[in-house]
Amino acid sequence: MSWIYDAHIHLSDPEYKSDMDMILNYMDLLKIKACCVSMDLETSNETMNLYEKSKNVLPFIGIHPEMAQKESEPVYDLIEENNEIISGIGEIGLDRTYIDTDDEWNVQKEVFSKQLSLAEKFNKPVSIHSRKTLSDIFEILPSYKIPGILLHWFDGNKSQLRTAMDNGYFVSYGPLLVYANDKQTLLTKTDPSQLLVETDGPVRFSRCFEYKTTEIMFLSSVIFCASKLLHISYEKLLEQIEDNSKRFLGI
- Interface with Zn ion includes 198 (CB under 5 A)? no
151: part of which helix (H) or strand (E)? strand 149-151
242 to each of 72, 142, 166, 187, 246, how far by Cα in Å? 33, 26, 21, 17, 6
Given the complex with Zn ion, which of 34 and 227 has the nearer CB atom?
A: 34
Q: Which stretch binds Zn ion (CB under 5 A): 88-96, 100-108, 134-142, 230-238?
A: 88-96
The span from the CA of 110 to the CA of 152, in Å, is 20
The span from the CA of 246 to the CA of 170, in Å, is 12
For the CB of residue 66, give the shortest distance to Zn ion in the complex, in Å.
Answer: 10
Given the complex with Zn ion, which of 128 and 240 has the nearer CB atom?
A: 128
Closest CA relative to residue 40, chosen from 15, 2, 10, 83: 10
The span from the CA of 147 to the CA of 88, in Å, is 10
Rounded to 5 degrees, what are φ and ψ at 83?
Answer: -60, -25
Q: How many residues bind Zn ion (CB under 5 A)?
A: 2
For the CB of residue 67, give the shortest distance to Zn ion in the complex, in Å.
Answer: 12
| Contact between 170 and 150 (Cβ < 8 Å) | yes
For the CB of residue 125, give the shortest distance to Zn ion in the complex, in Å.
Answer: 15
Closest CA relative to residue 37, chosen from 20, 14, 54, 61: 61
Q: Which stretch binds Zn ion (CB under 5 A): 44-52, 89-97, 166-174, 243-251?
A: 89-97
- Interface with Zn ion includes 46 (CB under 5 A)? no
Q: Which stretch binds Zn ion (CB under 5 A): 86-94, 113-121, 164-172, 183-191?
A: 86-94
Binding mask 155-194 for Zn ion (x = CB under 5 A): ----------------------------------------
Q: Which stretch binds Zn ion (CB under 5 A): 68-76, 84-92, 176-184, 231-239?
A: 84-92
Given the complex with Zn ion, which of 200 and 227 has the nearer CB atom?
A: 200
Ramachandran assignment for 34, one of left (phi > 0), alpha (psi -120 to 50 degrees), beta (any other): beta
- Interface with Zn ion includes 200 (CB under 5 A)? yes
Given the complex with Zn ion, which of 6 and 91 has the nearer CB atom?
A: 91
Note the residues at the interface with Zn ion (CB under 5 A). Answer: 91, 200
